[in-house]
Amino acid sequence: MPAVRPVLADDVTRLSGVGPRTVERLRKLNIRAIGDLLFHVPIRYQDRTRVVPIGALRPAQEAVIQGRIEVSQVQFGKRRSLLVYVSDGTGALILRFFHFNQRQREGLETGRTIRCFGEPRVGPRAMEMVHPEYRIIDAEQTIAVEEVLTPIYATTEGLQQGMLRRLTDLALQVLADDPSMTDDIDTLLETHAPSPMPALRAALRYVHRPPPDARQEELANGRDAAQQRLALDELLAHQLSLRRLRATVRSEQAPAIPSTSASRTRLLCDLPFALTGAQQRVLEEIDADIAQSRPMLRLLQGDVGAGKTVVAAALAAAVIDAGHKVAIMAPTELLAEQHRRNMQRWFSPLGIPVVALSGRQKKSERRQALEHLTAAAPCIAVGTHALFQQAVAFSHLGLVVIDEQHRFGVDQRLALRDKGRYEETLPHQLIMTATPIPRTLAMTAYADLDVSVIDELPPNRTPVTTVVIPDTRRPEIVERIAGAIANRRQIYWVCPLIDQSDVLEAQSAIDAADQLREALPEARIGLVHGRMKDAEKDATMRAFAAHEIDLLVATTVIEVGVDVPNASLMVIENAERMGLAQLHQLRGRVGRGSTASDCVLMYHGPLSRMAQARLKVMRETTDGFVIADQDLALRGPGEVLGTRQAGTAGYRIADLSRDADLLPTVRALATRLLKNDSAVVDTVIDRWLGYNKEYASV
């Protein structure tokens, strides 16, 4: 009986040469099935398809060369090296080896013909290749070059490029014989795609083994038609997964909450300010959601200081009056404590208990808090990830509010939502972020959520003036700080690193604090950085909030932190090394009181073109949404969405900023497929997300 041929859905162990160790290494790359190898696409390519004359070499452009060894000698100095001089009639090149042995030296003797692959660079005497790949060949021998561009894959320790290429070759053979790789989308693309695209099978073959005449610049930029076909397919998989998730969650039951609430009316009347028009509009959008007996899934965007927390409190009041509990989760103890204080200030006069749950509580405090959560009476629970630990149980949880959502892993948010399941109902979810997200990005990355935007700052917020200066003017800034302290104002000084680095010319927070203490001996100076223990960090931040510290030197851990209305000056050192979103978040720490505030962006020149563009944007606008659009254009989606979260499947080939022109097609295809063809939906999701299908379950 003939052996059954492998198919793409089979485990990689069906391929020859794949043993337990290789399986373990492949799993680190999320490669389990044979088909997963095809969707682990190259990150770049090398051109070994032609021999380049030495005279035509260009610095930093990898190339194959072939020539005669003219001389080989050891050079002594600070670092011993073997120099091999090669020429081909068009020019000369030096091969430099820092690590070599006697046998290697003898093999590289004068008169032999050598073929090398490497990256040329300008050396002190001539063009050089350092530690190139090479082989000695007979002068008359004809050695074939590669027939396709050489793919370079993302890999892991112990898994060599040669092994990945061999396995991909085998997977491409399986692809040729496996009828399960359907081209259902290709037919639709003939009428929907913005430009002609190859079929999926052809695109996969092309990106893994591009021909010598491939447009290498387009490949390097991800703009080749085959890459665009795969990018569209991947974006479609994410869109389908999120929208299917949305439909699944919306099919669940949730408590219907009336917006008429005596507690809300009283809370809003007791505030020393009126809600802005934007806050009122957003609250109406939320009220329309929670009035329905299906879970609300809403992302609330608002610039730093736009008043998201007040909106969440007004929502919480209605949920409490309807007899349900509210859970508010923050990423840090410090931010959770700030939320607890705000909620206590607003809800204590209403007789509504606010319960704190943190990892630092005494056993008696924790036991009392847990009793509140399981009791029938409504309350507001505020905490960090401690809210979803196994020992924590809720009864009648009607609303989950998650602040700074990009700081939490998906699994953590899922755990809190599932804890709220009560008698076949799920709580409503409000997810808040102070990182403005461009509409295009939000519609794609958060397709499972409705989006509300507070695009208006409260009238009591004072404008922040931003200046950009070189670090050669540091003494002027120190003098300005002394004047601010004399006027009883407080200052942030932010540095990008904790310790001095030989690679980055960036001042560490520790060194900066020492220098500022020396320059300002009368000032009360505090220091906060990421390597401090949480308790020590929190104590310093509390001291700053209580004005027991005048000048707080910190790394970017203060990007999300407590409100200190008395802080009116922000100095950001090495600002050229930070992204726009981060700079905007840091600047938002000041301008929270009645005093006009300033932000000083101090840079170390010379500035790159991108750094100049970023600092120019910061100087010209304080509008977070304008900044987010510029950030997307300059740096891509990573900075806007935050770092990759635990449980989040990142894009393998698609880029939301580069591929924005594909998004209308992606959304149109997703709508059509979800309506008409669930089998194709399953296929598309499986081939890109596979074992990570729950990544988007926010």
Say if strands 81-87 and 44-46 run parallel, antiparallel, or are unpaired.
unpaired
**87: helix, coil or strand?**
strand
Q: How far apart are the first and last CA of the chain?
A: 49
Distance CA 449, CA 689 (A): 19
Say if residues 113 and 86 touch (Cβ distance below 8 Å): no
Say if residues 40 and 652 touch (Cβ distance below 8 Å): yes
**242: helix, coil or strand?**
helix
CATH of 464-621, one of 3.40.640.10, 3.40.50.300, 3.40.50.720, 3.30.1360.200: 3.40.50.300
Which tokens in the block code for residue 137? 């060949």
Domains 50-137 and 464-621 are alike in CATH topology? no
Say if strands 354-357 and 44-46 run parallel, antiparallel, or are unpaired.
unpaired
**666: helix, coil or strand?**
helix
Q: Quick one: which of 169, 191, 82 has its CA closest to 134?
A: 82
Q: CA angle at residue 217 from 212 to 218, to 5 degrees?
A: 90
State the DSSP H helix or E strand holding residue 357, giving kind and residue range, or none if neither: strand 354-357
β-pair partners for 600: 467, 571
Say if strands 81-87 and 63-75 run parallel, antiparallel, or are unpaired.
antiparallel
Distance CA 570, CA 589 (A): 8
Say if residues 42 and 153 touch (Cβ distance below 8 Å): yes
Per-residue exposure over 154-192, b if at least 16 CB sit within 10 Å of its own CB, e if not? ebeeebeeebbbebbebbbebbeebeebeeebbebbeee
Question: What is the structure's pLDDT at 532?
Answer: 80
Q: What share of the chain is helix, strand, coil (3-state, %, to 5)?
A: 45, 20, 40
Distance CA 410, CA 395 (A): 23
Per-residue exposure over 674-695, b if at least 16 CB sit within 10 Å of its own CB, e if not? beeeeebbebbbebbbbebbeb
Q: Which long-range contacts (CB under 8 A, 24 or more apart) does 67-71 make?
A: 67/93, 67/113, 67/114, 68/111, 68/112, 68/113, 68/114, 68/139, 69/108, 69/109, 69/110, 69/111, 69/112, 69/113, 69/114, 70/110, 71/110
Say if residues 68 and 115 touch (Cβ distance below 8 Å): no
For the chain, domain boundaries? 12-45+150-214, 50-137, 262-454, 464-621
Question: What is the structure's pLDDT at 639?
Answer: 40
Distance CA 652, CA 234 (A): 8
Give me the residues of the chain with pLDDT under 50, please: 1, 502-506, 637-649, 693-698
**136: helix, coil or strand?**
strand
Which tokens in the block code for residue 562? 């407590």
Which tokens in the block code for residue 491? 């200052």
Say if residues 8 and 37 touch (Cβ distance below 8 Å): no
CATH architecture of 262-454: 3-Layer(aba) Sandwich (3.40)
Q: Quick one: which of 184, 331, 314 has its CA closest to 672?
A: 184
Q: Which long-range contacts (CB under 8 A, 24 or more apart) does 410-416 make?
A: 410/645, 410/646, 410/647, 410/648, 410/694, 410/695, 410/696, 410/697, 410/698, 411/646, 411/647, 412/385, 412/388, 412/646, 413/698, 414/694, 414/697, 414/698, 415/388, 416/327, 416/329, 416/387, 416/388
Q: Quick one: which of 235, 238, 246, 233 has its CA closest to 207?
A: 233
User: What is the per-residue DSSP string for 497-540?
Assistant: BSS--SSS---BHHHHHHHHHHH-TTS-EEEE-TTS-HHHHHHH
Distance CA 189, CA 255 (A): 42
Residue 621 C-beta-side C-alpha neighbours within 13 Å: 15
User: What is the per-residue DSSP string for 169-195?
Assistant: HHHHHHHHH-TTS--HHHHHHHHH-SS
Alpha carbon dihedral 500, 502, 504, 510, in 10-degree steps, equals: 0
Say if strands 597-603 and 397-402 run parallel, antiparallel, or are unpaired.
unpaired
β-pair partners for 402: 329, 431
Topology (CATH level 3) of domain 50-137? OB fold (Dihydrolipoamide Acetyltransferase, E2P) (2.40.50)
Distance CA 80, CA 332 (A): 52
Look up residue 262 and give its DSSP letter. Answer: H
